[in-house]
Amino acid sequence: MMKVLIVDDEEMMLLVTSKVLSEKYEVICASSGEEAIRLYDEHKPSLILSDLLMPGMSGFEMHDILQKKHSEKIPVMYMTADDAEDLEGLGLDKGAVDFIRKPFRPDVLLRRIENILGNIEQIQGLKEEASTDKLTGFLNKASVNQTLSEVCLKERGVLLMIDLDSFKLVNDIHGHEMGDEILVQFAKVISSNVRSDDILGRIGGDEFVAFLKEIDEESVVAGISSRINEQLLDKARSLMGQDMSIPLGVSIGGVFVPKDGTLYDELLPKADKALYHVKQKGKHGYSIYGGCNEIPVIEVRSAEEELKKLTMILEERNTSDCAFWLGQDAFSTIYRFMLRFIQSYHGVAYKVLFTVTPVNETVEMATIAKLSQQFGEMLNKSLRKSDIMMQSKPNQFFLFMPELDDKYIKTVIGRILNEWNESDSSESARIEYATELVKADDTEIEDDKRKHL
């Protein structure tokens, strides 16, 4: 039931107004602005219905104090017996949601409040939908980043980065529908192991964060980690069969707040570092940043077991059926390795540079930046798994395509350009490209060619 805080220094008006509203809403009464401020902090009502002119503190003054204190819009509806024409305009300028004159008809007051609270509820629902991950019900990445940036500055607790181990294998073996169901069950498991006021968010496909308030003991994190791993495995077996052999579980990296900092952007990498130690130790566990369990544990396994374990870890993240879209550092390392491979085994490859340019001077660079991202995504999906690419500039993409010679390069580029030219984006941007063949003897078969389309 939604709450309405009624503020009036006249006891009879409080009784009458409370009786009108109490059939539909939970009513809280205050006889002064000072009392209203205290009750607002305690009950967080959906709406304040306040007399305007009161001794000591007016409704306007109360509204100003609440707005400044909470740094948010406080829904206030004013009521007054004063017939001054400028009062209503002044109230609306202050941010009031409505204004009603005393004496008022009870049914009119009730309808007005129903309309106000209906709109507030709808707006809150839209905000919640925009900030929530639809699959898990957790905060989405943008919302959790904003929320935790504020929370870490003023609250004590532990920030956890949580990663689902071997989740890719669920999608590969049982399909994405099963993968989605596992994520739903994981959300239920973790929600049942934390409190209602703890904060949960999804920041990637199988990556999550949590902030557990007032927790500063490693034993609590250890207990949560153990329960989540055990319960998630039970859920997975109930869905995929008791003979399910996927090593599904969670790895958790934690950092204590404010002990190790209060800035979320600095705390998250620390939690990620602790998570990395869990991965090194074989997953399905936890690690605290700067803690003793951050030291890798050396486990004795056979060479065959180690090989299988390492292969599983390395292949787990290989979720894409497209080309490798890499950052410059990673691209540079692989690029140099591929050149050595071509030289040693007499292979061939093509280098291609695509540039997204405006069709004329009226196209803004902001539009080109957006279209460049679209082209990059299209390019990534059009290439082979063996191709690698990087975004060298905001509007430029560099490709390295092994085992592709001059017999096929025109066909590949033609297919990419045709797909772009058939899209609506080609009306604002054209694609230029340059190519170079790489052979074992490192001689250039073709000079760089630039074509304007």
**Mean pLDDT, rounded, for 328-344:** 86
- Rounded to whole angstroms, what are the CA distances from 107 to 110, 114, 158, 244, 405? 5, 10, 50, 62, 81
For residues 308 and 330, membership in a common domain is answered with no
Residue 449 included in any domain: no
Higher pLDDT, 130 or 216: 216
Interatomic CA distance for residues 333 and 116, integer angstroms: 60
Residue 86 included in any domain: yes
The three-point CA angle 199-200-204 to 5° equals 145
Is the pLDDT confidence value at 450 over 50? Answer: no
- To the nearest 10 degrees (0 to 180), the angle between helices 141-154 and 106-131 is 100
Contacts of the segment 408-415: beta carbons below 8 A, 24+ positions apart: 409/350, 409/352, 409/435, 409/437, 413/352, 415/382
For residues 352 and 370, membership in a common domain is answered with yes
Higher pLDDT, 78 or 71: 78
The pLDDT tens digits of the residues spanning 169-220 come to: 888 778 888 989 999 999 999 999 998 889 999 998 899 999 999 999 999 9
- Nearest of 31, 87, 97 to residue 67 by alpha carbon: 97
**Mean pLDDT, rounded, for 367-395:** 88
Residue 293, pLDDT score = 53
Is the pLDDT confidence value at 237 over 50? Answer: yes
pTM of the model: 0.45
Interatomic CA distance for residues 197 and 148, integer angstroms: 13
* Whether the bond into 103 is cis, omega within 30 of 0: yes
Residue 35 included in any domain: yes
- Rounded to whole angstroms, what are the CA distances from 106 to 18, 41, 53, 94, 101? 11, 28, 21, 25, 12
- Residue 56 corresponds to which tokens in the numbers above? 């000591």
For residues 119 and 175, membership in a common domain is answered with no
Residue 449, pLDDT score = 39
For residues 311 and 170, membership in a common domain is answered with yes
For residues 344 and 309, membership in a common domain is answered with no
**Mean pLDDT, rounded, for 354-361:** 94
Tell me the pLDDT band of 312, cut-offs 50, 70 and 90.
low
Interatomic CA distance for residues 367 and 375, integer angstroms: 12
44-58, 130-144, 292-306, 429-443: range with highest mean pLDDT? 44-58
Q: Which of 38-47, 73-82, 83-92 is the least confident region?
A: 83-92
For residues 196 and 342, membership in a common domain is answered with no
pLDDT over 70, % of the chain = 86
Residue 450 included in any domain: no
Tally of domains within the chain: 3
For residues 71 and 115, membership in a common domain is answered with yes
Q: Which of 5-19, 64-78, 113-127, 224-238 is the least confident region?
A: 113-127
For residues 203 and 262, membership in a common domain is answered with yes
Residue 453 included in any domain: no
Interatomic CA distance for residues 61 and 32, integer angstroms: 11
- Can you say how many angstroms the Cα of residue 188 is from the centroid of all Cα atoms in its chain? 18
| Positive or negative torsion for Cα 266, 270, 276, 282 | negative
Residue 298, pLDDT score = 44
Is the pLDDT confidence value at 76 over 80? Answer: yes
For residues 270 and 410, membership in a common domain is answered with no
Domain CATH code at residue 208: 3.30.70.270
Residue 111 included in any domain: yes
For residues 11 and 68, membership in a common domain is answered with yes
Q: Look up the domain containing 407 and give its range.
A: 324-439
Which of residues 104, 130, 156 is at a domain's end? 130
Mean pLDDT of the chain: 84
- Can you say how many angstroms the Cα of residue 119 is from the centroid of all Cα atoms in its chain? 26
Residue 351 included in any domain: yes
Is the pLDDT confidence value at 87 over 80? Answer: no
Residue 306 included in any domain: yes
Interatomic CA distance for residues 397 and 6, integer angstroms: 62
Residue 277, pLDDT score = 85
- Rounded to whole angstroms, what are the CA distances from 149 to 141, 143, 204, 435? 12, 10, 18, 46
Tell me the pLDDT band of 100, cut-offs 50, 70 and 90.
confident
Which of residues 316, 336, 357 is at a domain's end? 316
For residues 173 and 233, membership in a common domain is answered with yes
Give the side-chain half-sphere CA count within 13 A for 351: 18
Give the side-chain half-sphere CA count within 13 A for 234: 8
Is the pLDDT confidence value at 156 over 70? Answer: yes
Tell me the pLDDT band of 166, cut-offs 50, 70 and 90.
confident
CB of 235 closer than 8 Å to CB of 247: no
Interatomic CA distance for residues 346 and 4, integer angstroms: 79
Residue 448, pLDDT score = 41
- Nearest of 242, 241, 268 to residue 254 by alpha carbon: 268
The β-bridge relationship of strands 396-402 and 157-165 is: unpaired
357: burial class by Cβ within 10 Å (0-12, 13-18, 19+)?
Answer: middle
17: burial class by Cβ within 10 Å (0-12, 13-18, 19+)?
Answer: buried
119-123, 384-388, 448-452: range with highest mean pLDDT? 384-388
Rg over alpha carbons for the chain, rounded to the nearest Å, is: 31
Q: Which residues partner with 27 through β-bridges? A: 4
Which of residues 294, 316, 338 is at a domain's end? 316
Give the side-chain half-sphere CA count within 13 A for 48: 31
* Whether the bond into 258 is cis, omega within 30 of 0: yes
Residue 164, pLDDT score = 92
For residues 241 and 349, membership in a common domain is answered with no
Write the DSSP string, 119-163. HHHHHHHHHHHHHB-TTT-SB-HHHHHHHHHHHHHH--EEEEEEE
